[in-house]
């Protein structure tokens, strides 16, 4: 009897299982639906937050994703500016040159669509401005060509080779970054501003072709942008895919299209997500000499 009682005792003391209520399930499904509807709104809200720390994390994460994509695709397809030129000059092979042109076409087409929608305003940069610094372009292009030949690749190829373990590319990349910063704000910056940028032409409408043609021939800039995008873009595509070898290799198309889209993604991450508007009306006169290049950034949404 004792054994029978002890065997039945857990059944007597066990708490009955509660059945979930339908109201709880309805509330849970409603909350889940609200979460799904609110998820697409949270990212734009985070992007509109002018907190520099928040933007720095977003820009860094976006740059890492883009760099990972470009590194994987560039390593697989052997995408390289110097390689495209050297294959053409030394061997008469236009495969990588066609891929390079396809990257230009892919990136330019996406930027042209963004400019037409006026969502990301990609033309509000220094490149199509009225100051045409021709000597900087000539000398800079020449030095870039010599440098990438001596360094066995352009900057992008140098990064890919660093990922593959090339110590030479590490040295090249370190000195590339130091020299670029010196040219921007350091010792070479004075020579750039005082000598190279003095040799310039002022083009009032801007140095991009739609602005120049709209001023000279009378059509609107939007019309010239669409016309040039169709004509030049169509000519590039016709030249690129005229080669049977190019059409038969998926790597060529993959390298060109993905590289162009990565460039557009870089513009979006740095110019749209990372954009922080300046508020010069709230700047105060500093008591000490200002630091060159320092800017006052707007935090109006945080201040209310």
Least confident stretch, 2-16, 86-100, 226-240: 2-16
Q: What is the pLDDT of residues 19-73, one digit of tens each?
A: 555 444 444 566 656 656 655 555 555 555 557 777 888 888 998 999 899 989 9
- How many independent structural domains does the chain possess? 2
Statement: residue 121 has pLDDT above 60: no
Looking at the structure, do residues 112 and 217 belong to the same domain, yes or no?
Answer: yes
Looking at the structure, do residues 135 and 247 belong to the same domain, yes or no?
Answer: no
25-31: long-range contacts, CB 8 A cutoff, minimum separation 24: none
304 belongs to a structural domain: no
Better pLDDT: 273 or 150:
150
Looking at the structure, do residues 216 and 191 belong to the same domain, yes or no?
Answer: no
88 belongs to a structural domain: yes
How far apart are alpha carbons 94 and 64 in whole angstroms?
31
* Backbone dihedral angles phi then psi of residue 284, each to the nearest 5 degrees: -110, 150
Looking at the structure, do residues 197 and 135 belong to the same domain, yes or no?
Answer: yes
Query: Running DSSP on this structure, what letter comes out for residue 201?
Result: E
- Listed in sequence order, the residues at least 6 apart from 14 whose beta carbon sits closer than 8 Å to its beta carbon are none
168 is in which domain, residue-wise?
131-202
274 belongs to a structural domain: no
Looking at the structure, do residues 222 and 165 belong to the same domain, yes or no?
Answer: no
Mean pLDDT on 229-241: 90
The token pair at 254 is 């993959």
Q: Which of 152, 170, 202 is the last residue of a domain?
A: 202
DSSP reduced 3-state for 131: strand
Mean pLDDT on 157-161: 87
139 belongs to a structural domain: yes
Q: What is the pLDDT of residues 175-214, one digit of tens each?
A: 999 999 999 888 888 889 888 888 888 888 888 888 888 8
Mean pLDDT on 1-24: 48
Looking at the structure, do residues 136 and 250 belong to the same domain, yes or no?
Answer: no
State whether the Cα torsion 134-136-137-138 is positive or negative: positive
Looking at the structure, do residues 84 and 100 belong to the same domain, yes or no?
Answer: yes
301 belongs to a structural domain: no
7 belongs to a structural domain: no
Query: Running DSSP on this structure, what letter comes out for residue 289?
Result: P
User: Does the pTM exceed 0.85?
Assistant: no
How far apart are alpha carbons 68 and 74 in whole angstroms?
10
Better pLDDT: 275 or 86:
86
The token pair at 195 is 């000598």
Mean pLDDT on 217-229: 83
DSSP reduced 3-state for 196: helix
Give the pLDDT confidence score for residue 38 in this predicted structure.
Answer: 56
Q: Which residues of 283-302 are buried (b: 16+ CB within 10 A; e: fewer)?
A: eeeeeeeeeeeeeeeeeeee
Q: Which of 11-25, 162-176, 269-283 shows the highest mean pLDDT?
A: 162-176
Give the pLDDT confidence score for residue 103 in this predicted structure.
Answer: 92
DSSP reduced 3-state for 129: coil
**Matching residue, tokens 């509660």:** 18
158 belongs to a structural domain: yes
């Amino acid at each position: 009897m004792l054994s029978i009682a002890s065997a039945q005792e857990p059944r007597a003391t066990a708490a009955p299982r509660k059945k979930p209520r339908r109201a709880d399930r309805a509330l849970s499904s409603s909350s889940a639906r609200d979460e799904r509807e609110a998820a697409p709104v949270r990212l734009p809200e985070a992007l509109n937050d002018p907190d520099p720390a928040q933007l720095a994390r977003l820009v860094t994460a976006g740059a890492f994703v883009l760099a990972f994509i470009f590194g994987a695709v560039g390593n697989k397809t052997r995408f390289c500016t110097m390689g495209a030129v050297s294959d053409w000059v030394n061997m008469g092979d236009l495969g990588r040159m066609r891929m390079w042109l396809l990257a230009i076409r892919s990136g330019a087409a996406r930027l042209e669509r963004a400019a037409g929608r006026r969502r990301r305003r990609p033309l509000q940069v220094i490149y199509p401005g009225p100051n045409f610094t021709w000597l900087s372009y000539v000398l800079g292009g020449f030095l870039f060509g010599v440098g990438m030949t001596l360094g066995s690749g352009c900057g992008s190829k140098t990064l890919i080779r660093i990922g593959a373990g090339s110590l030479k590319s590490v040295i090249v990349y370190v000195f590339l970054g130091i020299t670029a910063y010196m040219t921007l704000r350091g010792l070479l910056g004075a020579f750039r501003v005082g000598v190279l940028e003095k040799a310039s032409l002022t083009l009032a409408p801007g140095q991009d072709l739609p602005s120049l043609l709209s001023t000279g021939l009378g059509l609107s800039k939007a019309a010239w942008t669409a016309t040039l995008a169709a004509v030049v873009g169509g000519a590039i595509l016709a030249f690129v895919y005229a080669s049977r070898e190019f059409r038969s290799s998926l790597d060529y198309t993959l390298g060109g299209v993905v590289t162009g889209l990565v460039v557009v993604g870089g513009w979006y991450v740095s110019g749209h997500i990372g954009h922080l508007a300046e508020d010069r009306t709230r700047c105060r006169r500093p008591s000490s000499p200002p630091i060159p290049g320092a800017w006052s950034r707007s935090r109006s949404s945080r201040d209310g």
